[in-house]
């Protein structure tokens, strides 16, 4: 079964994108997958205390973005299957991303 994938960054426009994607997923009877992409360099920073704090805050914030987006979709359409993830790989490159280009 195909799923609808939507990117989220916590902004108002991304919340509108989640609303649209949730409606589209329900219309197609497909699951919705909310994705937040963390800057890939975040994982390549050496073990520096300052960098570690930034990394932890960004990862925490990213999980929160996914949780809020998924909850919003579930609230709008209670029967909709919704999943979410935070990744360091852009969706077009990940296994959860759209089909081949």
Tell me the pLDDT tens digit for each residue of 42-91: 666 667 777 778 878 888 999 999 999 999 999 999 999 999 999 876 55
Q: Extract the tokens encoding 67.
A: 């949780």
- Please tell me the distance from the alpha carbon of residue 51 to that of residue 88, in angstroms, as a whole number: 16
- Please tell me the distance from the alpha carbon of residue 87 to that of residue 99, in angstroms, as a whole number: 18
List the domain boundaries for the chain: 4-93
Give the predicted TM-score (pTM) of the model: 0.80
Residue for token digits 């359409």? 77
Under DSSP, the state recorded for 66 is: H
CATH topology of domain 4-93: Rossmann fold (3.40.50)
Using an 8 Å Cβ cutoff, are 35 and 91 in contact? yes
């Amino acid at each position: 079964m195909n799923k609808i994938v939507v990117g989220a960054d916590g902004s108002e426009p991304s919340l509108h994108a989640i609303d649209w994607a949730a409606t589209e997923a329900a219309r197609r009877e497909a699951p919705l997958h909310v994705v937040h992409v963390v800057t890939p360099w975040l994982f390549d920073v050496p073990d520096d205390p300052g960098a570690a704090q930034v990394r932890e805050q960004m990862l925490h914030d990213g999980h929160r973005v996914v949780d809020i987006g998924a909850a919003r979709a579930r609230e709008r359409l209670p029967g909709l299957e919704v999943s979410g993830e935070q990744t360091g790989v852009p969706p077009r490159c990940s296994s959860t991303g759209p089909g081949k280009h």
